[in-house]
């Protein structure tokens, strides 16, 4: 939080406050140790039981004659302007509904406006952030950086049981990061990326608590950002996400609006890839759904792990199963009696651990090939093994986004660059819909040096981002709370 010293304006003497006190609900001016906001913007926490006053710079010392928000008009004595600092009574602010408001300030020299963000909760602790799940349609803003490292296993925000389950609760709220960063989260579906056998064998209290998350599908800091949800002005760093399928550091699935977000050094891991072209992983998001819109997002994620990172061994009925790097063993009665495709069922030919009664199935993170050996490509014609630098599958839109370039090594393959993402081209993937869907515009992977070139971010708003050559852009504070102190 930026701290500045201001000399207390002369009008805040006892005589002035005495005059104000003659009117009911009159606001107290800023006093030593109080806080206020710069640049005509402020946020207000409506969850606080006792209304409190807010002071905000408005850029004019003119006398304020009226203050209103829509049809709501403040009474005399609920506002005062001295030396360009407008103080507004908490009684008036708390009478407004939550959301982003424009306050109209009439002065003796004309009209100015103040942007007010009335939130259901100012998020200041790890507990506050986790408790967003208690009200998924709320308005939230970060009041400082949030460290989630003390939470054993963070419960993803939002709930997706299945596409048609009536219990589904997506994040349909608004989260404004206000330039602050969420870090240190462990969002882990399983103990490892090698197998789902004894998924939570060693984690104890770290297991997900909610059934909708235990399945491991659509996993990220958010499970699903719903079509009415909005996430903006947020930084992520040191987020470790592990899911079964459809995985990203920010979200498994984005159906809503995400913009002006920075995703830093995060680890994204996925256990299985079902080879159906839609269950992919991305550094930022697994799937951008048809209603999803993502713009002006920077990702420096450079670690995606699909399947086991090294050789592992599992035992079933006294038989050992070897898992090579890039392979994942799935375990379930649904696999009993199924024949494999060369990778999938280790017992399909009776040579490994018995016969077709085995409930094991093996998935490999390979660049896919057809039976004749020809390459199978993704919707946009690129080799695919389900790993993408930014987004696994785009049914909606991505615009003006930047992802760090890095290499992945598919199993039994050569290292290659991780591609940015893929849209859905119906002719290429008719099994998942014949209609062409999704757009990726002005978005690509960039080298580490290109990430530090100001020209890369020509479509970014300089009022939201700090952009200069030689540095990856950082987010600014939109609502800048300042310490008001007496400077003698």
pLDDT at site 332: 75
Give the predicted TM-score (pTM) of the model.
0.90
Please write the tens of the pLDDT for every residue from 329-369: 877 777 777 766 546 665 544 444 445 566 777 787 777 77
**Mean pLDDT confidence for 127-146:** 98
pLDDT at site 452: 98
The two tokens of residue 108 are 């003796």
pLDDT at site 34: 53
Place of tokens 């079964």: 244
Strand ranges (E), 110-163: 110-119, 121-123, 139-142, 146-147
Place of tokens 């984005």: 254
The two tokens of residue 457 are 């971010």
Phi (first) and psi of residue 127, to 5 degrees:
-65, -40
Please write the tens of the pLDDT for every residue from 158-171: 999 988 889 999 99
Question: Is 90 exceeded by the pLDDT of residue 420?
Answer: yes
Separation between Cα atoms, residue 392 and residue 88, nearest integer Å: 47
Within 8 A by CB and 6+ apart from 217, the residues are 160, 243, 244, 245, 246, 252
Per-residue confidence at 385, pLDDT binned at 50, 70, 90? Answer: confident
Separation between Cα atoms, residue 387 and residue 403, nearest integer Å: 13
Separation between Cα atoms, residue 29 and residue 63, nearest integer Å: 15
Per-residue confidence at 181, pLDDT binned at 50, 70, 90? Answer: very high
pLDDT at site 486: 41
- % of the chain at pLDDT higher than 70: 84
Separation between Cα atoms, residue 405 and residue 450, nearest integer Å: 10
Helix (H) or strand (E) holding 126: helix 126-130
**Mean pLDDT confidence for 258-269:** 97
Nearest to 169 by CA among 128, 129, 216, 211: 211
Nearest to 293 by CA among 245, 261, 259: 259
pLDDT at site 350: 45
The CA radius of gyration of the chain, in Å to the nearest whole number, is 27
Please write the tens of the pLDDT for every residue from 291-314: 999 999 999 999 999 988 888 887
pLDDT at site 397: 98
The two tokens of residue 488 are 């003698």
Higher pLDDT, 18 or 135: 135
450 three-state secondary structure: helix
pLDDT at site 85: 93
Q: Are strands 230-237 and 257-263 parallel, antiparallel or unpaired?
A: parallel
Question: Is 50 exceeded by the pLDDT of residue 196?
Answer: yes
Within 8 A by CB and 6+ apart from 94, the residues are 44, 46, 51
């Amino acid at each position: 939080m930026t701290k500045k010293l201001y000399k207390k304006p002369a009008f805040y003497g006892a005589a002035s406050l005495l005059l104000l006190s003659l009117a009911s609900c009159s606001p107290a001016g800023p006093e030593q140790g109080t806080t206020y906001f710069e640049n005509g913007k402020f946020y207000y926490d409506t969850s606080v039981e006792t209304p409190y006053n807010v002071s905000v710079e408005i850029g004019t010392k003119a006398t304020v004659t009226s203050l209103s928000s829509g049809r709501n008009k403040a009474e005399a004595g609920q506002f005062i302007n001295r030396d360009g600092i407008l103080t507004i009574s908490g009684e008036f602010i708390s009478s407004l509904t939550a959301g982003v408001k424009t306050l109209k300030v009439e002065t003796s020299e004309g009209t100015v406006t103040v942007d007010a963000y009335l939130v259901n909760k100012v998020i200041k602790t790890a507990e506050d952030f986790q408790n967003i799940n208690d009200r998924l349609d709320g308005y939230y803003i970060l009041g400082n950086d949030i460290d989630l490292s003390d939470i054993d296993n963070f419960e993803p925000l939002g709930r997706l049981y299945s596409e048609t389950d009536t219990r589904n609760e997506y994040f349909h709220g608004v989260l404004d990061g206000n330039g602050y960063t969420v870090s240190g989260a462990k969002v882990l579906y399983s103990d490892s990326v090698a197998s789902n056998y004894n998924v939570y064998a060693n984690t104890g209290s770290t297991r997900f608590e909610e059934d909708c998350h235990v399945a491991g599908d659509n996993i990220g800091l958010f499970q699903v950002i719903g079509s009415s949800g909005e996430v903006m002005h947020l930084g992520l760093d040191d987020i470790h996400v592990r899911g079964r399928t459809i995985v990203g550091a920010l979200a498994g699935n984005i159906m809503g609006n995400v913009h002006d977000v920075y995703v830093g050094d995060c680890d994204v891991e996925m256990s299985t890839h079902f080879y159906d072209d839609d269950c992919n992983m991305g550094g930022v998001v697994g799937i951008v759904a048809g209603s999803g819109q993502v713009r002006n997002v920077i990702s420096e994620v450079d670690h995606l792990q699909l399947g086991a990172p090294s050789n592992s061994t599992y035992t079933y009925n006294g038989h050992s199963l070897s898992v090579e790097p890039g392979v994942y063993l799935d375990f379930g009665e649904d696999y009993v009696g199924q024949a494999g495709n060369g990778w999938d069922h280790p017992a399909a030919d009776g040579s490994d651990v018995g016969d077709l009664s085995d409930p094991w199935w093996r998935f490999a993170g390979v660049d896919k090939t057809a039976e004749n050996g020809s390459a199978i490509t993704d919707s946009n014609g690129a080799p695919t093994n389900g790993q993408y630098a930014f987004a696994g599958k785009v049914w909606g839109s991505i615009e003006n986004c930047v992802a760090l370039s890095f290499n992945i090594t598919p199993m039994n393959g050569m290292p290659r660059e991780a591609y940015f993402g893929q849209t859905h081209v119906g002719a290429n993937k008719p099994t998942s819909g014949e209609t062409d869907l999704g757009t990726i515009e002005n978005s690509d992977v960039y080298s580490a040096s290109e990430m530090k070139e100001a020209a890369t971010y020509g479509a970014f708003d300089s009022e939201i981002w700090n952009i200069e050559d030689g540095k990856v852009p950082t987010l600014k504070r939109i609502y800048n709370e300042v310490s008001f102190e007496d400077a003698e």
